[in-house]
A and B are shown apart, each in its own frame.
Chain A
Amino acid sequence: MTNILEVQGIHTFIGRYHILQGVDVSVPEGSITALLGRNGAGKTTTLKSVLGLRSVREGSILFDGKPVHGMRSFDIAALGIGFVPEHRAIFRDLSVEENLKIAERHKGDLANKRDFIFDLFPDLKKFLAMPGLSLSGGQQQMLAIARALIADNRLLLIDEPSEGLAPVIIEHMISVIRQLSKKSTVLLVEQNFLVASKLAEYYVIIEEGRSVKAGKMSDLVNDRAAIHQYLGAA
Chain B
Amino acid sequence: MKPFFRRNSMLLISLLVLIALFAFAGRGMGSKDFVITMLRGLSVGAVTFLVASGFSLIFGLLDVLNLAQGTLYMIGAYIGWTMYIRPDTFMDLVPLLALMVSGFALNGVWNIVVGHIHLNPKVQRIIPWTLIALSLALFAIILPKYPIAIWDLNNYAQSPVTYSFMADQGTRLPVTPAVFSQISPFLAFGGLLLASMLFAFAVSLFGHAAQAQGRLKVKNFVPLAIVLIVAMVGYVFNNTLTNFFLGMDTTVLFLISVLVAALSGAALGGLMETVLIRPLYSRPIYQLMLTIGLSAIGVQIVQAIWGRNEFIMPKPSLFAGSGGACPASSLASWLQNHCSTIWLLGGRVRVYDEIFIPLVGIIVLIAVWILLKRTRLGMVIRAGVQDREMVEALGINVRRVFTMVFALGVGLATFGGSLAAPSTGLSNAMGESLLLSALIALAIGGLTSYPGAALGSLLVGFIQQFIIKYGQIGIPIPFTDIVFKPSPPIVPASTVLLMVIVLLILPHGLLGKKE
- Are A74 and B397 neighbours in the complex by a CB distance under 8 Å? yes
Q: A90-127 interface mask toward B, CB cutoff 8 Å, 1 = contact, 0 = none?
A: 01111000100111010000000000000000000000
- Are B209 and A93 neighbours in the complex by a CB distance under 8 Å? no
Q: Given A70-B209, A91-B387, A93-B386, verify A77-B394 contact (CB < 8 Å).
A: yes
Q: Which of B385, B389, B391, B397 contacts A102 (CB 8 A)?
A: B391
Residues on the B chain within 8 Å of A203, using CB: none
Asked whether any CB of chain A lies closer than 8 Å to the CB of B392, the reply is: yes
Residues on the B chain within 8 Å of A94, using CB: 379, 382-383
Q: B70-87 interface mask toward A, CB cutoff 8 Å, 1 = contact, 0 = none?
A: 000000000000000000
| Chain B residue with Cβ nearest A55 | B209
Q: B385-413 interface mask toward A, CB cutoff 8 Å, 1 = contact, 0 = none?
A: 11101111111111100000000000000
- Which range holds the interface residue count of chain B? 20 to 34
- Are A89 and B390 neighbours in the complex by a CB distance under 8 Å? yes
Q: Chain A's nearest CB lies how many Å from the CB of B281?
A: 13
Distance of A167 Cα from B173 Cα, bound (Å): 83
Q: Given A72-B210, A74-B397, verify A53-B392 contact (CB < 8 Å).
A: yes
Asked whether any CB of chain A lies closer than 8 Å to the CB of B330, the reply is: no
Residues on the B chain within 8 Å of A101, using CB: 376, 379
Q: Given A75-B213, A89-B387, verify A102-B380 contact (CB < 8 Å).
A: yes
Residues on the B chain within 8 Å of A71, using CB: 211
Distance of A74 Cα from B391 Cα, bound (Å): 8
Residues on the A chain within 8 Å of B211, using CB: 70-72, 75
- Are A73 and B379 neighbours in the complex by a CB distance under 8 Å? no
Residues B348-401 near A (CB distance < 8 A): 376, 379-380, 382-383, 385-387, 389-399
Interface secondary structure of B, over-half rule: helix
Q: Given A70-B209, A101-B379, A102-B380, verify A53-B393 contact (CB < 8 Å).
A: yes
Q: Given A70-B211, A71-B211, verify A102-B383 contact (CB < 8 Å).
A: yes
Residues on the A chain within 8 Å of B376, using CB: 101-102
- Are B382 and A77 neighbours in the complex by a CB distance under 8 Å? no
- Are B379 and A53 neighbours in the complex by a CB distance under 8 Å? no
Distance of A7 Cα from B213 Cα, bound (Å): 22
Residues on the B chain within 8 Å of A102, using CB: 376, 379-380, 383, 391, 394, 396
Q: Given A72-B210, A92-B386, verify A78-B379 contact (CB < 8 Å).
A: no
Q: Which of A70, A77, A93 contacts B393 (CB 8 A)?
A: A77
Residues on the A chain within 8 Å of B210, using CB: 72
- Are B395 and A74 neighbours in the complex by a CB distance under 8 Å? yes
- Are B209 and A85 neighbours in the complex by a CB distance under 8 Å? no
Asked whether any CB of chain B lies closer than 8 Å to the CB of A20, the reply is: no
Residues on the A chain within 8 Å of B391, using CB: 102
Asked whether any CB of chain B lies closer than 8 Å to the CB of A56, the reply is: no
Q: Which of B213, B379, B387, B392 contacts A77 (CB 8 A)?
A: B392
Q: Chain A's nearest CB lies how many Å from the CB of B396?
A: 6
Q: Chain B's nearest CB lies how many Å from the CB of A92?
A: 6
| Chain A residue with Cβ nearest B391 | A102
Distance of A98 Cα from B378 Cα, bound (Å): 11
Distance of A71 Cα from B210 Cα, bound (Å): 7
Q: Given A70-B209, A71-B211, verify A85-B393 contact (CB < 8 Å).
A: yes
Binding site for A on B (CB under 8 A): 209-211, 213, 376, 379-380, 382-383, 385-387, 389-399
30 A–B pairs (Cβ distance < 8 Å), ordered by A: A51-B393, A53-B389, A70-B211, A71-B211, A72-B211, A72-B399, A74-B393, A74-B394, A74-B395, A74-B396, A75-B211, A75-B395, A77-B392, A77-B394, A85-B390, A89-B390, A91-B382, A91-B386, A91-B387, A91-B390, A93-B382, A93-B383, A94-B379, A94-B382, A98-B379, A102-B379, A102-B391, A103-B394, A105-B395, A151-B394
